[in-house]
């Protein structure tokens, strides 16, 4: 198996959009994903296995903060450590752009994602009630206040 994590490109939009529709109740539009390629604060990575995109993640970097916008893994490839690897790559990318901390929102009932983020030193810092309009579900706001420290503790291969 050849695994590669690389920046998202225009040629990836259709597959990333397919992952959006598979993984989320309210997916981003194809145009929104395409627009992120020219958004100066946006940084997106895709995870390829054998030349097929099976996961991706995006973030916006504003000053020293990285805000995760999307994380998706093809359901056929979940529970293999791919999301963790992608998140560590996002942290490494964020550090390249001088971000020191990272934040995200996660559904209150997405216990698997919450456990992953806790492994990556994210802590719950607040709640956005009714954040997810499709279900009325709340979002937990989670922060990692030192992504450099998380990366230094990681023994997961990132390259």
Q: Hey, which residues are catalytic here? A: 105, 117
Supply the DSSP string of 134-145, one letter for each residue: TTTEEEEEEEES
Sheet holding 65-73, edge to edge: 3-7, 42-49, 52-62, 65-73, 101-107, 137-144, 123-132
Shortest CA distance to 87 belongs to which of 115, 49, 109, 128? 115
* Beta strand 65-73 pairing with 101-107: parallel
**Euclidean distance between CA atoms 87 and 89, whole angstroms:** 5
d(CA 143, CA 130): 19
CB 114 within 8 A of CB 143: no
């Amino acid at each position: 198996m050849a695994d590669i994590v690389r920046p998202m490109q225009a040629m990836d939009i259709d597959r990333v959009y397919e992952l959006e529709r598979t993984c989320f109740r309210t997916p981003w539009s194809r145009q929104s994903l395409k627009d992120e390629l020219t958004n100066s604060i946006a940084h997106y990575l895709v995870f390829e296995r054998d030349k097929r995109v099976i996961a991706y993640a995006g973030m916006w970097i504003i000053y020293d903060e990285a805000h995760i916008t999307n994380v998706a893994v093809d359901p056929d490839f979940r529970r293999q450590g791919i999301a963790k690897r992608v998140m560590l790559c996002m942290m490494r990318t964020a550090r390249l752009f001088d971000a020191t901390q990272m934040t995200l929102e996660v559904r209150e009932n997405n216990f698997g994602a919450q456990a992953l983020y806790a492994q990556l030193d994210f802590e719950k810092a607040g709640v956005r009630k009714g954040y997810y309009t499709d279900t009325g579900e709340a979002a937990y706001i989670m922060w990692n206040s030192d992504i450099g420290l998380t990366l230094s503790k990681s023994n997961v291969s990132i390259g």
